[in-house]
Structure 1
């Protein structure tokens, strides 16, 4: 630690080499997405480097784990907020089409129920399918863009979308949305 604090970059590289895989696995266990885990791991190493002067020289692995876990949880919360914003966006578009209804109160109740239904249905989708469904159908990304963002092949994206559609057909019925 003292070598790092004295500006020895090779000492920090040794530290990164020793704990790189451990931090990646810790973050991946929370975010469940390899590309996000890679990005977050890089961010955590930056945070560790700049926080080293405040490190109290006890429990290093615990200290870096806490930084990694907190960063991954913050990321998940932000992603959850983004999902809620997209749901609100869908609700706003539903509201836009409902402008012609005469009864304002009825429209608000229907809209609120629709938003709740969509949220509950979206939360039922397994997380490995949620990512690809959101990216393709809501964010209108191409298979190639999704593959690059998730760090997988285009074929994997195609398979995930196919399996996601199969899951939806099996678990959702049209009357559930009526």
Structure 2
């Protein structure tokens, strides 16, 4: 009769992973996935971020396994997870600050664009920039494009967007936040200066 994964000792896990390779590691991930996810979620309070950290943790554990020194497998896994989740929380906090700065930059440039004292050269440059931005927006995933356009172009509130897209207000906030992160990852700021 085969023992359940939770009954395998830590040394047996280590031996099983070393001798069984990827297949054995897959069993290990299955056995500890819920623990790692719950630990990450306790720090981050966000499903997708906790999922991301969980994936990263198992990659880190696999790489760090040769350095493991029998200090309590579950404790070691928990420490790695908590550290990775805290790193993610700090990274997200920095991104929020950067996104806020970018929003301020966009607002300032939009106010300049509204000015009626634009020269012909400025008007042409503004038009070229609008075309460029529209082309870049067209590259965005559809579900991000909808909220970005509704919020920034149509200037609709979260409630209006939620009603229009038949979503919860929290979902609109989440999509808008993730859309901004997508923009940060795929756009270079110098393209818009």
Task: Output the TM-score relative to the length of structure 2.
Answer: 0.50
Unpaired segments ≥5 residues, structure 1: 101-134, 142-153, 164-178
Whether 1:28 aligns to 2:38 is no
Report the alpha carbon displacement of residue 85 of structure 1 after superposing the two structures with TM: 0.5
Give the gaps of 5 or more residues in structure 2: 1-13, 116-145, 153-164, 174-193
2:126 counterpart residue number: none
> 1:76-87 residue pairs with structure 2 within 5 A?
76-87=89-100
Q: Is 1:43 aligned to 2:43, yes or no?
A: no
CA contact (8 A) 2:147 2:172 kept: no
1:1-178 superposed matches below 5 A: 1-96=14-109, 97=111, 136=147, 157-160=167-170
Question: SS where residue 168 of structure 2 aligns?
Answer: helix
SS at match of 1:8: helix
Aligned length: 117
Taking the aligned partners of 1:62 and 1:138, their CA distance within structure 2 comes to: 46
Structure 2 counterpart SS, 1:64:
helix
Q: Are 2:17 and 2:24, in contact at CA under 8 Å, matched by a contact in 1?
A: yes
SS across alignment from 1:6: helix
**TM-fit CA distance, 1:71:** 0.9
SS of the residue 1:16 aligns to: helix
Q: Distance in 2 between matches of 1:14 and 1:95?
A: 53
1:94 Cα deviation from its structure 2 partner: 4.3
Q: Give the Å deviation of 1:95.
A: 4.0
Name the structure, 1 or 2, with higher relative contact order (CA <8 Å, separation 6+): 1
Contact 2:53 2:85 in 1 (8 A): yes
State the TM-score, normalizing by the size of structure 1. Answer: 0.54
Tell me the alpha carbon deviations over residues 140-169 of structure 1, each in whole angstroms, 9 at most, x when there is no partner: 69xxxxxxxxxxxx75x4243699xxxxxx
Q: Which has the larger radius of gyration?
A: 2
